[in-house]
């Protein structure tokens, strides 16, 4: 008999602001492919294309009226950031992110009563209370899946005590904790007091396909023989944009004809723009804004190297996207993806000297760039969602057997 | 019969330190890491001396005293001997004592443990001569048998070794080259008249070097009587069993607590329990036994990996481009007779530098990762290439100053 999984998420493509929705999509598709039966719960109704599973929207449950929130509920916002965004938006709805999370949990209790399932699987703190309520009502085992913690989002400074408490309660009361990397596992055992044996690492995957060559973007720059170093990600503390900037300053001093490009936006954008101007980087440091799809792929393809200088990165998908586009990567050791990529350059995010050393080596030595790109792609191919699904299924089986 | 021929390779490279882009033009020493890392050559020499060379030498000296029939052969790289002289002279003394028994042969090789034979014959010959002088100075002997770095061998090398006057030359006893032939006989390199080819019995050698402490191996635990039984089983189907090992097998690759020193101590008496068996040096083997047949080896054969070719050193573009850049510098480096520059250039020829850049098995993390002091082949390449670029800059400066004056 196939395993029936009740899964709680927060976002799902195309309505996603980042990696959580993408990860839920990849994982559920692979789980369904491996024979699991899935019910995926989302807090509010929107158009989801996921034929491999039944999708329930908590705001459809008639007995409970969950307010539909128009503003972007981003799992990547800190609670303060959410409050700021709410202040400028529609004041009629949810006063804060945490109330939304609890309303979701209350609805979950209701909809759980009518469903048949063997295990509960909840993704990130936003859905942990919902998962816990479902566990209370049904008595079924709960897996909480940690894609990011409050420590990643805040860089350890200004951890919101309420969010931390929700994360900790979820991890403590769950039957099993899944983290997306050893990096995150260390964080969870160190900061949340979760015992080592309770935590299983399930690295994220990627539906890897080598991207076709697109028309060259930034062609004016490339025609001039300019080399491009790329940053892709939210411009927030967690992603280390300031380290990228510092490295850029030094590389530009040492190496002619190099332009640094930042793709993305975030609460540090203004600060980085100002700093770049103050450092006199001018046209050598470009902000491309938020890009997706072909536009993003074209930028990856135009680049000589992707740098991911994250301060605290539970996994990190952009290096795999870069490799799919044939561009080699330099990643911080403080990332989950560095655990699955061997053919990548690696640095500690704070080690600007070494970052500069490696960036310049790639620029000066084509054999290095080519070797990293070719072997890096073979690495990325091995990072599959089916491997992740297999590990989750093993966890389900062990829990169902034990109950 | 048969004769057991032990040859131990004793070598440690001068690893290139973390040499960054900013060091180019400023830092003329590439090899003086003084951190706690495995790039600190002095630290490694001291560690290997204590764990391996000194205790293994003590066992061998005792064996030579107790068993007049016992023989071994060593090949020392010049790079290692220099480092021992600097940081562990007591090890050099203990090797001298072994050679002084007259029952320990020393092989010829390239001073810098290089692959120069395949890139520059002139440079290769220079290094062999320099190595011979060093061996004579330290041990007072003249090597009569040649082995090339990583046991890299082909017909050209066999012919070269004969022209250079050696009695014998060493190679891997690899099935694909041997066909039905046994590695337990001597052969004649194709195109030669007198010189003998000694082939490594890789199965028996690897039983000690790699499998000795492997608990999943069906023959584990391996003891001396069992191994002596395997040696004796060759009786009638071979004349010499060539056990070619890295000397660090004793105490470093196989730690003391695996029982490897006990095994080494017990093995010679166990082998000698069979009355027909004895031990030979590589020189005695070459002199005593006839070549059974001609062996043709057109492609380069080495003792590495399952391919037994040079791909661990020249298999990717990082390696080939580094080697090309290195040997491109030869005429310019040699032109001015600057000893510092020439010395640095030669130290950069040591094969280990290229081995560290190997990406072949990197993904599976095995023996290559174990022997790599760098975090990745990419970091090895970056430090090496930066150092080489510094050297090129120094050469160009010299050239410029020369023109100026």
Across residues B1-21, what is the average pLDDT?
Answer: 96
Separation of alpha carbons A262 and A268, rounded Å = 12
In terms of pLDDT, which residue wins out, A274 or A207? A274
What pLDDT was estimated at residue A99? 84
CB proximity B359 to A under 8 Å:
yes
Q: Between the ranges A148-162, A283-297, A360-374, where is the mean pLDDT highest?
A: A360-374
Q: What is the count of residue pairs from A and B with beta carbons less than 8 Å apart? A: 57
What pLDDT was estimated at residue A92? 36
Cis peptide before A14 (omega within 30 of 0): yes
Of A342, A343, A357, the CB nearest to B382: A357
Q: Residue B145: left (phi > 0), alpha (psi -120 to 50), or beta?
A: beta
What pLDDT was estimated at residue A72? 39
pLDDT tens, residue by residue, A108-135: 878 888 789 999 999 999 999 999 999 9
Chain B nearest-CA distance from A319, in A, is 17
DSSP helix/strand/coil, B106: strand
Cis peptide before B221 (omega within 30 of 0): yes
Q: How many beta carbons lie within 10 A of that of residue B179, not counting itself? A: 7
Indicate yes or no: CB of A357 within 8 angstroms of CB of B385: no
Fold for domain B3-295? 7-stranded beta/alpha barrel (3.20.110)
Of A254, A353, A365, the CB nearest to B385: A365
Sign of CA dihedral B375, B376, B382, B388: positive
Residue A101's nearest CA partner among A148, A147, A166 is A166
Of B21, B365, B378, the CB nearest to A368: B378
Indicate yes or no: CB of A343 within 8 angstroms of CB of B362: yes
As a dihedral over the C-alpha atoms of residue B237, residue B239, residue B240, residue B241, rounded to 10 degrees, the angle is 20
Residues of B in Cβ contact (< 8 Å) with A361: 21, 381-382, 385-386
Which of the following is catalytic: B109, B123, B150, B252? B150
Sign of CA dihedral A261, A293, A30, A77: positive
User: Where are the domains positioned within chain B?
Assistant: 3-295, 311-404
Sign of CA dihedral B131, B117, B249, B367: positive
The answer for residues whose C-beta is within 8 angstroms of residue A268's C-beta and 6 or more apart is A235, A236, A237, A241, A242
User: Where are the domains positioned within chain A?
Assistant: 4-205+384-402, 219-381
Separation of alpha carbons B194 and B187, rounded Å = 10
Separation of alpha carbons B234 and B60, rounded Å = 24
Per-residue DSSP letter, B108? B
Q: State percent of chain B over pLDDT 90.
A: 91
pLDDT confidence bin for A76, thresholds 50/70/90: low
Contact B147, B199 (CB under 8 A): no
Whether B150 sits among the annotated catalytic residues: the reply is: yes
pLDDT confidence bin for A89, thresholds 50/70/90: very low
What pLDDT was estimated at residue A146? 98
pLDDT tens, residue by residue, A278-313: 999 989 999 999 998 899 999 999 999 999 999 999
Contact B84, B91 (CB under 8 A): yes
Residues of B in Cβ contact (< 8 Å) with A254: 21
Q: Which contiguous run of DSSP H or E holds residue B170?
A: strand B168-172
What pLDDT was estimated at residue A70? 36
Q: How many beta carbons lie within 10 A of that of residue B94, not counting itself? A: 19
What pLDDT was estimated at residue A65? 34
Separation of alpha carbons B173 and B185, rounded Å = 10
pLDDT confidence bin for A192, thresholds 50/70/90: very high
Same topology, domains A4-205+384-402 and A219-381? Answer is yes
Across residues A363-372, what is the average pLDDT?
Answer: 97
End-to-end Cα, chain B, rounded Å: 68
Indicate yes or no: CB of A354 within 8 angstroms of CB of B359: no
CA atoms within 13 A on the CB side of B398: 17
Chain B nearest-CA distance from A342, in A, is 6
Indicate yes or no: CB of B318 within 8 angstroms of CB of A345: no
Across residues B331-342, what is the average pLDDT?
Answer: 94
What pLDDT was estimated at residue B149? 98
Q: Which of A365, A369, A374, A377 to mutate to test the interface with B (most CBs of B within 10 A)?
A: A365
Fold for domain A219-381? Rossmann fold (3.40.50)
Packing angle of the helix pair B121-139, B78-87 (nearest 10 deg): 40
Whether A398 has a pLDDT exceeding 80, the answer reads yes
Chain A nearest-CA distance from B385, in A, is 8
CATH class of the A4-205+384-402 domain in this structure: alpha beta
Indicate yes or no: CB of A367 within 8 angstroms of CB of B318: yes
What pLDDT was estimated at residue A82? 59
Phi, psi of A172 (to 5 degrees): -70, -45
Across residues B55-82, what is the average pLDDT?
Answer: 98
Within 16-35 of B, beta carbons closer than 8 Å to A belong to 20-22
CA-angle at B45, arms to B39 and B51, nearest 5°? 120
Contact B231, B205 (CB under 8 A): no
Packing angle of the helix pair A269-278, A241-254 (nearest 10 deg): 20
Contact A191, A366 (CB under 8 A): no
Indicate yes or no: CB of B376 within 8 angstroms of CB of A342: yes
Chain B nearest-CA distance from A337, in A, is 15
Residue A207's nearest CA partner among A53, A341, A331, A320 is A320
pLDDT confidence bin for A107, thresholds 50/70/90: confident
pLDDT confidence bin for A62, thresholds 50/70/90: very low
């Amino acid at each position: 008999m196939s395993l029936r999984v009740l899964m709680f998420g927060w976002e799902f493509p195309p309505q996603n602001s980042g990696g959580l929705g993408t990860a839920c999509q990849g994982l559920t598709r692979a789980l369904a492919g491996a024979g699991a039966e899935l019910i995926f719960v989302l807090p509010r109704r929107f158009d989801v294309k996921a034929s491999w599973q039944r999708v329930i929207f908590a705001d459809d449950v008639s007995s409970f009226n969950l307010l539909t929130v128009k503003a972007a509920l981003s799992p990547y916002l800190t609670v303060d950031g959410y409050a700021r965004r709410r202040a400028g938006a529609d004041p009629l709805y949810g006063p804060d992110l945490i109330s939304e999370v609890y309303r979701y949990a209350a609805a979950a209790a209701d909809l759980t009563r009518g469903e048949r399932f063997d295990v509960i699987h909840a993704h990130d703190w936003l859905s942990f209370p919902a998962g816990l309520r479902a566990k209370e009502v049904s008595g079924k085992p709960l897996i909480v899946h940690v894609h990011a913690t409050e420590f990643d989002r805040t860089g350890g400074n200004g951890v919101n005590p309420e969010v931390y408490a929700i994360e900790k309660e979820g991890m403590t009361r769950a039957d099993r904790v899944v983290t997306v990397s050893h990096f995150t596992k260390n964080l969870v055992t160190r900061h949340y007091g979760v015992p080592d044996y309770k935590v299983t690492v399930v690295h994220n995957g990627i539906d890897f396909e080598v991207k076709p060559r697109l028309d060259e973007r930034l062609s004016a720059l490339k025609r001039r023989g300019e080399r491009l170093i790329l940053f892709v990600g939210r411009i927030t503390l967690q992603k280390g944009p300031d380290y990228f900037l510092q490295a850029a300053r030094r590389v530009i001093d040492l190496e002619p004809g190099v332009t640094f490009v930042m793709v993305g936006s975030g609460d540090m954008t203004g600060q980085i723009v100002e700093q770049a101007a103050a450092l006199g980087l001018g046209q050598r440091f470009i902000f491309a804004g938020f890009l997706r799809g072909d536009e993003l792929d074209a930028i990856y393809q135009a680049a000589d190297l992707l740098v991911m200088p994250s301060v605290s990165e539970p996994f990190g998908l952009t290096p795999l996207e870069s490799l799919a586009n044939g561009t080699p990567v330099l990643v911080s050791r403080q990332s989950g993806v560095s655990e699955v990529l061997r053919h990548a350059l690696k640095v500690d995010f704070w080690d600007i000297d070494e970052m500069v050393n490696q960036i310049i080596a790639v620029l000066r030595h084509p054999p290095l760039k080519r070797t990293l790109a070719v072997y890096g792609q073979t690495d990325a191919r091995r990072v599959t969602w089916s491997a992740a699904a297999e590990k989750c299924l093993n966890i389900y089986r062990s829990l169902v057997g034990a109950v | 019969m048969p004769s057991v021929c032990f040859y131990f390779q004793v070598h440690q490279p001068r690893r290139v330190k973390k040499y960054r882009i900013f060091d180019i033009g400023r830092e003329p020493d590439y090899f003086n890491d003084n951190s706690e890392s495995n790039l600190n050559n002095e630290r490694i020499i001291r560690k290997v001396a204590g764990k391996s060379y000194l205790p293994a030498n003590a066992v061998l000296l005792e064996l030579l005293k107790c068993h007049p029939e016992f023989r071994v052969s060593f090949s020392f790289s010049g790079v290692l001997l220099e480092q021992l002289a600097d940081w562990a002279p007591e090890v050099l003394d203990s090797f001298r004592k072994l050679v002084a028994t007259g029952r320990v042969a020393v092989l010829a090789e390239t001073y810098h443990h290089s692959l120069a034979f395949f890139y520059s014959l002139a440079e290769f010959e220079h290094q062999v001569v320099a190595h011979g002088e060093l061996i004579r100075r330290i041990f007072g002997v003249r090597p009569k048998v040649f082995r090339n770095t990583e046991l890299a061998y082909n017909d050209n090398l066999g012919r070269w070794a004969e022209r250079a006057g050696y009695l014998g030359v060493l190679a891997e006893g690899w099935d694909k080259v041997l066909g039905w032939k046994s590695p337990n006989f001597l052969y004649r390199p194709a195109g030669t008249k007198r010189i003998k080819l000694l082939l490594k019995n890789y199965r028996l050698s690897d039983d000690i070097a790699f499998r000795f402490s492997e608990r999943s191996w069906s023959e584990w635990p391996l003891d001396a009587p069992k191994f002596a039984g395997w040696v004796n089983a060759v009786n009638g189907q071979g004349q010499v069993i060539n056990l070619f090992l890295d000397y660090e097998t004793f105490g470093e690759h196989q730690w003391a607590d695996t029982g490897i020193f006990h095994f080494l101590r017990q093995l010679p008496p166990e082998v000698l329990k069979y009355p027909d068996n004895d031990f030979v040096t590589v020189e005695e083997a070459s002199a005593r036994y006839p070549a059974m047949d001609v062996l043709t080896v057109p492609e380069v054969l080495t003792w590495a990996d399952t391919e037994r070719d040079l791909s661990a050193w020249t298999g990717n573009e990082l390696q080939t481009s580094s080697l090309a850049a290195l040997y491109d510098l030869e005429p310019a480096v040699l032109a001015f007779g600057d000893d510092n520059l020439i010395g640095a250039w030669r130290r950069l020829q040591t094969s280990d530098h290229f081995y560290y850049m190997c990406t072949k098995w990197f993904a599976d993390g095995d023996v290559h990762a174990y022997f790599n002091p760098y975090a990745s082949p990419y970091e090895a390449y970056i430090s090496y290439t930066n150092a080489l670029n510094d050297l090129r800059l120094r050469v160009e400066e010299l050239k410029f100053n020369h023109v100026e004056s």
